[in-house]
Amino acid sequence: MHTAHTACKGGNDSSAADSAAHKSHVDTQCAAAQAAAANGISWKASARAKCLSNITGSYSSFAITAGSNGALSAQDGITCAAGDRLLLAAQSDKTQNGVYVITALGDASNPYVLTRSDDMKTDAQLPQAAVFVQQGTTSADKAYVVTNDGALTIDSSNIDFSVFASTGEFSAGNGIAFNGKQINCDVDDSTIEIASAKVALKAGGVSASFLASNSVTSAKIAAGAVAAAALASASVATASIQDDAVTAAKIADNAIQQAQLSDDCVGAAELASNACVAASYSAGSVGTVAMADASVTSAKLASLTTLSISGQMSAGSYVATSDRRMKARIAELNDAACMKQCAALQPVSFVMKNNPNDPRTGLIAQECLKVAPELVKIKEDGSYGVNYVDFTAHLLASVRDLNNRLLSLENMVA
């Protein structure tokens, strides 16, 4: 193994090429060099800095050329110069990774150009290639090695680098203990402990005395972090809950069942205006026994534009709005046309599938759609219905047509 001898100038900056080296720096580098030689690592000339992100530009003939004019930006905090060697280990196309020389720094009139270094541009130079990085905020005094196994092909094989040596010196800070080369966590075995080779919170380690007043707020508790199983029975009393602290947004669907509510615990005063809407009730959940006498008044019912009822509806009378002042585009129906429509419709008897014991008569909406589509309505659930109220107008027009035909026949006989 060949070693280079460098004259030492005074000073503490071991990153400069001609500076005096600290003993720890030399020891670490010697150890790394010995390990590298033993493991077949192929050292390359050192790089001034390491690029932490992708260097953009077009790649051709071992060179990356910027797509526009301008100087190469600082790399890892280092302002580079032409001729500097850079380690590229973060290219989007990993086949471009490697050691490059800045052949043109770039300026307002020229793009920058980076060319692969002569000691790392052939297939044979790639396996176990290692390079020492001299400067940089993140990568200074670190050695990197190609970690890809087997034979590699330049510009074809991915090239990955990993740090394997550093001259950094460590000292144990608070909560850390060194035992030779082993780093230990210094636990108090009261609040935290080592359990199954992991640092863990000790059972009962955090008591109320560790929590400042009002230190645990809703903003510090993730959604769903406190499940019902984590709360003792009756552990949360009303005195522990501020007014308006529990909102609809904090309660999951079906989280509160009837069995969890005491009798009369929810009165009108506890319900906000418009808090109870149809979507909040399951079918049959509110029976007549749940309503006090005269509790549902017209003032509590919003105006309805559409009312869907499955089953029978009974009323003393039914009045449809028919005020001329509320109508527009009024036109008389054609008696003969309505007669033709009614004649084409087939009245049927039937039972509804959800009420098979109730015989009914009427029309089939899909058949009516073919003859009188204006009488067919498609409801929100996709089912078809017949507007029997409007159908009475068609029937009246048909009667008028029959009457006119009868009068015509009577006149002919007379």
Residue spans per domain, the chain: 23-166, 332-408
pLDDT for 253 equals 74
User: What is this structure's pTM?
Assistant: 0.38
Long-range interactions of 404-413: CB distance < 8 A, separation 24+:
404/335
- Distance, in Å, from the CA atom of 50 to the CA atom of 142, rounded to the nearest integer, reads 10
pLDDT for 311 equals 66
Q: How far is CA 220 from CA 147, 205, 224, 275, 391, in A?
A: 43, 20, 12, 28, 63
Torsion of Cα atoms, 22 then 140 then 28 then 18, to 10°: -40
pLDDT for 104 equals 96
Blockwise average pLDDT, block size 10, the chain, 414 residues: 36 43 52 55 95 96 96 96 97 97 97 97 95 94 93 96 73 71 79 86 77 76 73 71 75 74 73 70 68 70 66 77 92 92 93 91 93 91 90 92 92 88
Q: How far is CA 113 from CA 97, 107, 116, 154, in A?
A: 15, 11, 10, 19
- Distance, in Å, from the CA atom of 112 to the CA atom of 106, rounded to the nearest integer, reads 4
Q: 3-class secondary structure for the chain?
A: CCCCCCCCECCCCCCCCCECCCHHHHHHHHHHHHHHHHCCCEECCCECEEECCCCCCEEECCEEECCCCCCCCCECCECCCCCCEEEECCCCCHHHCEEEEEEECCECCECCEEEECHHHCCHHHCCCEEEEECCCCCCCCEEEEECCCCCCCCCCCCCCEEEEEECCCCCCCCCEEEECCEEEECCCCCCEEEECCEEEECCCCCCHHHCCCCCCCHHHCCCCCCCHHHCCCCCCCHHHCCCCCCCHHHCCCCCCCHHHCCCCCCCHHHCCCCCCCHHHCCCCCCCHHHCCCCCCCHHHCCCCCCCCCCCCCCCCCCCCCCCHHHCCCCCCCCHHHHHHHHHHCCCEEEEECCEEEEEEEECCHHHHHHHCHHHEEECCCCCEEECHHHHHHHHHHHHHHHHHHHHHHHHHHC
Query: Residue 177: beta bridge partners?
Result: 184
How is residue 328 written in tokens? 């527009």
